[in-house]
Each structure stands twice: as structure tokens, then as C-alpha cells.
Structure 1
Amino acid sequence: MSTHYDCIVVGSGHAGCSAALAAVKAGCTSVLIVEKAPHDWVGGNGYFTAGAHRTVHGGLQDLLPIVRNVTLEQASKIDMDPYTVEDFTEDIMRLGQDKPDAKLVKSMVESSREAVEWLARIINVPFILSFHRQAYEVNGRQKFWGGMALSTEDGGKGLIKAHMKALEKAGVEIWFESPAVRLRAEQGTITGLVVHTDGKELNLSASSVVLAAGGYESSSELRAKHLGSEWEKARVRGTPFNTGDGLAMAQAVGAKLVGDWAGCHSTCWDANAQAEAGDRELSNQFTKSGYPLGIMVNVYGQRFVDEGQDFRNFTYAKFGRQILLQPEGCAFQVWGADMVPFLRKEEYGDEIVQKIFAGNMEELADKLLEKGLKDKECFLKTVRNYNAAVQNHRAEHPTLAWDPTVKDGLSTQSTAIALQLPKSNWALAIDQGPFLAVKVACGITFTFGGLAIDPDTAGVLSKETDAPIKGLFCTGEMVGGLFHNNYPGGSGLTAGAVFGRKAGGEAAKLAGKSVR
């Protein structure tokens, strides 16, 4: 057991692994990852993702060289628009209400394609085109939508497995059940880390420390403090070990806190999932993102969001909050038989979710009463009014066709009927039985508030001087200022790799071993 390292990384998630591997590739010869969790919980929140990476790309031909699941014949039947720097930037800023740090966004977006290439070529991350999540078959062709196309084989599990293999090959040590206690500092420079391991505190010296320990979403106390008391009942989607420790350590050495401390990534989550942690086997399968294909109602039978406001990957990160704010913090998703085949099997398979089927809407309402619905008549009225609004819109716009790969304009708003809360796209009448409903709650993924970093180096900024604290870097969900209020799906993993690479490269420079 050594007590000095070129670089110490706090956290074994995707961002931390990226930083550690980048440090080795840049020249560091001794790199250590310390992880609070036991080995069985390796991978942090990255393990629980679908492995989606949002990146700038030039279209299908640009991505084909780094994916593993597309034959030449398949490629000839795929439609995929390029996703530009301007597209990616606009999506982050639009969803963040123009509040994200523009320099941070620029750095992440412009480095995204290079980071994905690095993950594929250097780390051997098994990228695939995300047919199962980001494409629909239209007229015999697979059409990608929403700007995102990349995922990984076996989702987050496959992503973390690739990292573990690469770390072992690179000779990076990982200490599990070894929580970081505090940062060591001398005259404003970070010189190491105190770690609790094997029942005692151990002083480690290092040329640099990279913080990649996640946010505070797993702490009900901190959720209540920063997000609001209602967040105490949110279900934790991922690791139970992200309790804000890294943020507190950084704050203790004068780090600057920035970003949306009242905001987080949350989503529609299975109401029957456990509350305190994600499931290592089912992981992301508890997500329930099929709401654009139907409607969502609360326990009083009332709709509360515009299910067709935008593509799913632009709305799911904020709709969890809306569910949490409903009475009893839960809701029901409802579909007609025509939409059931479009629901993703990994989220709505028979063995994944408790399904509520009924031959007619009256029967469905009665069954929902047994699951928590409180106002049957209001629910039936909501569905009737919704169906009438859809049918009137279709009558006024007979040439519009339902298309889940574009914002198709099929809505509930016509000159005859306009609902107070519209469904702006993909609005089809729920009038074909058998009908299906599932009960959902709010699952919290990660928090948006975090540390201020230098966009070019990922160096943590000082609260006092606004300059980087020498020897201290940050990546992953601990970074503040990148997302606000909402975020475009797949951006988190990309950001973790981008700033992890920057941190690792700078760590090698501080260790005097940079090969660049």
C-alpha cells in the first residue's frame, strides 16, 4: 500500500474512471481511485444509466466507425440527421432557460465528439446505435430523433465493465469501502487526501486530487434542505452512497459553489421500486418514459403536464418533479391498445412493471381505484375531454399523420375545443381497448448544484479568489453550472468524460509526467 500517488480520484463512477484513465494515458504512473461504496456497488450512478452519450456528430456515417451493432444492410435503412455544436448548445441553453454557464457548455459541447471517440478507441467502451431508445421504424426505415443516437451494450453495466477492464490493464488501484474524509492542503495547494480505510484514517499525499463523488441526491436531509421538503419522499434511482461528502470536503478548503442548487435530474419511476437505492439488476429499467404515447393523470384523475411538449429526452428530467408535486407524489400513465406495442420492453415488460389492463375505460377506472385513484368520475371525464379534443383537432387537420420521430403537430387544440392543458404533439385518442395503465412516482438521478470549475482544465475554483485551487479538479455530477432546471438526455455521461479527460491531463502535468 503506497501513501503517495501522482493522482487520486474520489469516486468509481464513469466520470472518475475517465479521469483516472486519462491521467494514466497522459503520463501518470501511480493513480488511485478511492470509493466509499463496497465492491458490489462499483460504478456510482453510471452503472444505473442506459449508457446514453449525447454528442456532436455529422450523421450516420460519422458514428458508424465507433458502433458495434450496425451491418451495411442495416445502415442503408437508417435516417439520422447531423447534430451540430449549435444544436447541442441550443438544447442545453433552451432547457436550462439560458442560465447554464456558457463557457462551461461550450467546453463540454465542443469536446464531446473527441471524448466519445476516446472512450471507444482507448477505453474500448462498447458503443451501439440506440435503436431501442432513440429510433422508431417509419415506412420500413429506422428514424432517429431528439439529437441523440449513442448508447452502450448492456447500458450502464456494460459501460462500467469496460472501465473496470481498462483500469485493471492500466494498473490503476481501486480501494473500496474507503471513504475520503478530508482534503490535505498547504498554503492553498492540495497536497493529498485523508481516507478512512481498514478501520483507521490514512494520510495520502498526491500531486492532485480529482473529485468525482457525485451530488447529494441520496441524502434525504440534503434533498429537503436544498430542493424542498417534498423531496424527502423521492426514490433514489442509483447509488445510495452519493450523500454530498465530496461537496462538503471541497467547501472546507474554500471551493466555490455554483449552479442550480434547487434543481435536479428526476424522472418518471416505477412506483413499486424501492425508495433508498436503485436495483443493481434492473437498474434503468424502472424508468417509465412512454408518456408521450399516452397521458399521465394524478390520483384525482387530472392531467398535470403536456405529455407532448417535446421529445421524451428533453422532458423526462423535469417531469419527475411534476409527479412528486402531485397529491401523494405519484401518478398513472395510460394508453390505448394501439400505442402499447410502441412501449419499450425493457421498461414495460411483464416482468418489469405491474400492468393494469382493462377492456373498457370504466373497468380501468375501477381497477385504478384499487391502486390509489381517488376520483373515478374525474378520471373518466379527463379521458372523455381529451379524446374529444383530439378528434376535433384531427377533423380540422386531416392531412396530419402521427409520427413519433418528429414533432408531428397532432394536438388537443382546435377552434372547436382547446384544453386548458394541451398535449402539443403525438395526441391520439385513447379509445381502443384493451387499455393499459401503470403507476409511477418520482425517481431522482442527480443534483445540479455543485463546484465551480475552470472550463478548460476542470480545476476547482476558489470562492475567495475565483482562481483554480492548485491540485484540485472536479468532474461528473459534482460540477455545478452546467445544467439548470432541466437537461437534454445523455449529456451527463458525456460531461463526465469530457471534464474527466481534462482533469486527468492536468493531473499528469502537475505530477511532472505529462506525455503531451
Structure 2
Amino acid sequence: MHDVLVVGGGNAALCAALMAREAGASVLVLESSPREWRGGNSQHTRNLRCMHDEPQDVLVDAYPEEEFWQDLLKVTGGATDEKLARLVIRASSTCRPWMRKHGVRFQPSLAGTLHLSRTNAFFMGGGKALVNAYYRSAENLCVDVRYDSPVDRLELDDRRFVAAYCGGERIEARACVLACGGFESNREWLREAWGQNERGEWPADNFLIRGTRFNQGVLLRHMMDQGADIIGDPTQAHCVAIDARAPLYDGGIVTRVDAVSLGIMVNREAKRFYDEGEDFWPKRYAIWGRLVALQPGQIAYCIIDSQAIGRFMPPVFPGVRANTPAELSGALGLDVPTFVRTLEDYNAACRVGSFDHTVLDDCHTEGLSPPKTHWARPIVKPPFYGYALRPGITFTYLGLKTDEHARVHFGGAPSDNLFVAGEMMAGNVLGQGYTAGVGMSIGTAFGRIAGTRAAAAALENVAHAAA
């Protein structure tokens, strides 16, 4: 029997496994995916949001706790547990030396990476390199890892973990960490959560899954049925507007189109529906998936002109290109007169001051609804480009309620040997919204806490048994 069983194979799970092993516990990791797809959504990440009070290696200037907290408070609209959020923020300032010890390397942010050089530390080689580094370290530390091993249920005894079931196999351990993600790749659960809208559409049918295909939410549903305390709205998620041509699963970060704040967004009816210049893109990019999900047909179109080219990371797919607005709208399948009028109204409303995409500039619209509050300048310079976008779900926020010790709760009472980390509990911090890199901050903080606590619980169990 292992001391600690870790269910999942992404960043949070690996942080838990490594911390538990460092604390002297024997560890088994059960990853549902094949080896080549290991790592869950972590393989698609590229950075970690970090608090720091002064410049630190790849991070410039300072990003103090209060600013990080205010950024999080703004994007969540207050739907966050401040105690747990501040725990994550403080942990983000001290985790990188430990990450380096386990083979993770960092690099300065690249040109065009959303002004994150002050707030986010980038992984050299991206999330796949981070995942591989952790697996190498786990192997060196004699952590046992099994692939193609989805856990579908747990055996519990009055809140205590006893065993996990992987198909017909029963696997005992002295403590357990659940870190196997949300339910974003479970289409039926997404349909159930989102339901049918007033237009008779099932919005979830048009969602693309930006993250892993293996997060089916089977164990999350099981825990709900077992009476575990739950937190979060099932419709809330890290939901990004991504290229409509992206694959159904595992498109990752390259499917995102980062030009929204440089142009306008119109829906299928060729009408604008939200302020494209509300705030810096890293703070607001993850609201656009949900906004698009609420539009007819769950599709929208990002429209820019040649002035925007070179100011954002080039997407993996080229945009539809045209020499006139009328030609562009026709190529996108939009009503030409409506589109041309929308664009003309926007252009006429622009009040251009000193355009600067690196600050909240004074270029805005007047007399237009919805307004564009920053970076508003007429879209007049050919060629023109359009990108069809659909909602891309990265991970869902419905999860297990926890505390500062990462314990799973039942009826308000914590388990003493069952813990949770990562996306499976991110809803405690992210009730809604997102800001770049914070998912990795949450997974790293709570993965490390859960691993440490699980090892302590397991070894205490061993000591009691010996006594």
C-alpha cells in the first residue's frame, strides 16, 4: 500500500506528488490519459502569475500582493474567497526556487506576450516542458506513475478516504489527493449546465474544448453524489474566444486570437455587443468566450485593419482578408449593409488621442453603445481582416469546497486524509472571470499544500498503526 495516492497528472497533481515524496511518503500517481497526452491542461500553459515586491530574475519591477489581489477581485467581481486567494498570491512569490529544483526553467516574456513581463513568469518550453520536468523529477524520486488509469469512484468511511477504484481494481492508500480537473470535455454535462437558450439553441453544442479531452468530471460527479461540499457555478469557466477553425479538443493557446482590443467584435447579426477596450487584454481576454457563448449561434467575428498587424501575437490560422469592409463582410457571411453601417458608426464615434496599446490610453468612442473605452481608432486602412471566433473552454469552475489545508469537506466538516488541488477546487478562488497565469498559481499553491498535508496524514497513520 502506498502512503499517498494522487489522482490526476497535471501541474497540481505533480506538485502534490513531489511534495509528498519529499516529505518521506511513498506516492502513486494515477493519470487517466495515455503517456503521450499526460499533463492535463498544464501542457497547454506557458506562465505563472507571481507576486513580487522587487525585480526577480525574469520578472521586472514589482507586483505586490495588493495589486495582485485587486486584479483578481476585479475579474471575479468579488466571487472569490479572499483568505484562499491571498494564500495563493503569497505562495506565488516563493514557489519558483522549488520549481527550478525540479527542473523547471524560466525565460523572459517574449515580445507581444500581452504585457506580462512584470506579472508573469514564463516557462522555457511552455507547459509541456514543465510537465515533462516534473515527471522526470518524480521518476528520479521513485514516485510510481500509472497512465491510462482513470479513477471513477472512491471508497469512503465517514469522510475518510479508504480506496480508489480504477475500473474493477481497488487501490488502497493512507491518504489521497484529488487533482483530476473539471468536466469541460464532458459534452453532456456542459449541455446540462448551459441548457437551452431563448432562441431554442443548445449553446454547449457549439463550444470547442481548448483544454484536454480527458477531463470528463467523472470523479467530480461521484464526489458530489457522495455528499462532498461543492462550490461554483457549472456555467462558469475559463472560457476564451478562439478561432472557430480550432480542433474540438486540445487546441491550446495557439488557437486564441489576441486582436480583439485592437478592433471591434460583431455577432452573427453584424452588430457590436461589448466594450472591446475595457481593460488590458491579459485581464479581460477570458471574458470573451462567455460573451460569445451568449450571442446567436455562439459565434462572433473579430474585425481589424492593417494598422493592428504586428501589435498582437500572430494566431495559428490566418484571418479572412479583404480590400473593403463590404468585401470582408461578404466573405464572412455577414449582412453587408448592416456590417458596413456598424463599422461606419464605430469609425464616426472614435475620438483618437495618443494611441498606445501598452497603457490605458485616451482613444475612445463617444455616443456609441456599447462604447469602446480605450484603443479606439477608426478601422479604415486596407487590407481588412476578420476572424470567426467560438467559445473555447479551458477548464470549468464547479468544484470541491476546500480550506487553507486543501481538505475536502462533507457537510462543513473536513476529511483528515482526503485533499484536493488544481482545477478541481479552483472555483474557491475563481467564482468567475480569469486573469492570465492565475490557474497555474492556484494549482501550484494548492498542489504543494495538498501533497504536504497528505504525507503528514499518511505518516501519522503509519505511526499510530505502529504504536
TM-score, normalised via structure 1 length: 0.84
User: What is the CA–CA distance in structure 2 between the aligned matches of 1:155 and 1:132, rounded to whole Å?
Assistant: 15
| 2:32 corresponds to | 36
Mapped partners of 2:15, 2:112: distance in 1 = 25
Report the counterpart of residue 158 of structure 1 in structure 2. Answer: 129
Residue 259 of structure 1: CA displacement? 2.2
What SS does the corresponding residue of 1:209 show, helix, strand or coil? strand
Matched residue SS, 1:113: coil
Q: Which amino acid aligns with 1:256?
A: D
1:182 matches 2:153:
yes
User: What is the rounded CA distance, in whole Å, between the counterparts of 1:227 and 1:317 in structure 2?
Assistant: 18
**2:274 matches 1:305:** yes
Q: Distance in 1 between matches of 2:158 and 2:370?
A: 58
**CA–CA separation in structure 1 for the residues paired with 2:318 and 2:293:** 20
Alignment of 1:321-332 (within 5 A): 321-332=290-301
More divergent stretch after superposition (495-504 vs 91-100)? 91-100
Secondary structure of residue in 1 paired with 2:416: strand
Query: Where do 1:3-402 residues align within 5 Å?
Result: 4-28=1-25, 30-49=26-45, 51-59=46-54, 61-64=55-58, 80-120=60-100, 122-134=101-113, 144=115, 148-196=119-167, 201-229=168-196, 230-275=203-248, 277-279=249-251, 283-345=252-314, 348=315, 352-369=316-333, 373=334, 375-390=335-350, 393-394=351-352, 400-402=353-355
Q: Deviations over 1:450-472 (max 9, x none)?
A: 101112x111112x2x1211210
Q: Distance in 1 between matches of 2:255 and 2:192?
A: 26
How far apart, in 2, do the equivalents of 1:360 and 1:468 lie? 62
TM-fit CA distance, 1:184: 2.2
Identity of aligned residues (%): 33
What's the secondary structure of 1:430's corresponding residue?
A: coil
Give the gaps of 5 or more residues in structure 2. Answer: 197-202, 462-467
Give CA-to-partner distance per residue, 1:402-458, whole Å, 9 cap, x none. 111211121112xxxx10111111112111111111211110111112101112x11
C-alpha distance after superposition, 1:8-57 (max 9, x if no partner): 111101111111111112221x21111122222111011122x2211101
Q: Hey, what does 2:200 align to over in structure 1?
A: none
Q: Give the C-alpha shift of residue 360 in structure 1.
A: 2.3
CA distance in 1, matches of 2:11, 2:119: 19
**Per the alignment, do residues 233 and 359 of structure 1 end up closer, same or farther by CA in structure 2, a change over 3 Å counting?**
closer
CA deviation after TM superposition for structure 1 residue 91, in Å: 1.5
Displacement of 1:256: 0.5
Contact 1:145 1:405 in 2 (8 A): no
| Post-superposition CA distance 1:146-170 (Å, at most 9, x none) | 9623121232222212222222212
User: Which consecutive segments of 4 or more residues in structure 1 shift more than 3 A?
Assistant: 132-135, 144-147
Offset, 1:145: 5.2
Report if aligned partners of 1:320, 1:442 keep a CA contact under 8 Å in 2: yes
Q: CA RMSD in A?
A: 1.9
Q: Matched residues in 2 for 1:45 and 1:34: separation?
A: 16
Residue type matched to 1:494 in 2? Answer: S
Asked whether the equivalents of residues 108 and 117 of structure 2 are also in contact (C-alpha less than 8 Å), the reply is no
Return the alpha-carbon distance in structure 1 between the equivalents of residues 7 and 117 of structure 2: 33
* Structure 1 CA distance for aligned equivalents of residues 181 and 418 of structure 2: 16
- Residue 247 of structure 1, CA deviation: 1.1
Is the Cα–Cα contact under 8 Å of residues 294 and 307 in structure 1 kept in the other structure? yes
Q: What's the counterpart of residue 377 of structure 2?
A: 428
AA aligned opposite 1:353: F
- Alpha-carbon distance between aligned partners in 1 of 2:261 and 2:130, rounded to the nearest angstrom: 28
Q: Does 1:470 align with 2:441?
A: no
Deviations, residues 109-147 of structure 1 (Å, cap 9, x unaligned): 121111233212x22212222224545xxxxxxxx4596
Q: 1:169 to 1:145 in 2, by over 3 A?
A: closer
CA distance in 1, matches of 2:99, 2:219: 25
In the alignment, is the contact (CA less than 8 A) between 2:43 and 2:127 conserved in 1? Answer: yes
Maintained 8 Å contact 1:269/1:287: yes
2:362 partner amino acid: G
Matched, 1:460 2:408: yes
d(CA) in 2 for partners of 1:430, 1:187: 63
TM-score where L is the length of structure 2: 0.93
1:437 maps to 2:386: yes
Q: For 1:19 and 1:512, how far apart are their aligned partners in 2?
A: 15
**d(CA) in 2 for partners of 1:249 and 1:365?**
47
Which residue type is aligned with residue 183 of structure 2? Answer: Y
Over 3 Å counting, the alpha-carbon distance change for 1:405 and 1:117 in structure 2 is farther
Kept in 2, the 8 Å contact 1:269–1:441? The answer is: yes
Counterpart CA distance in 1 for 2:118 and 2:342 is 33
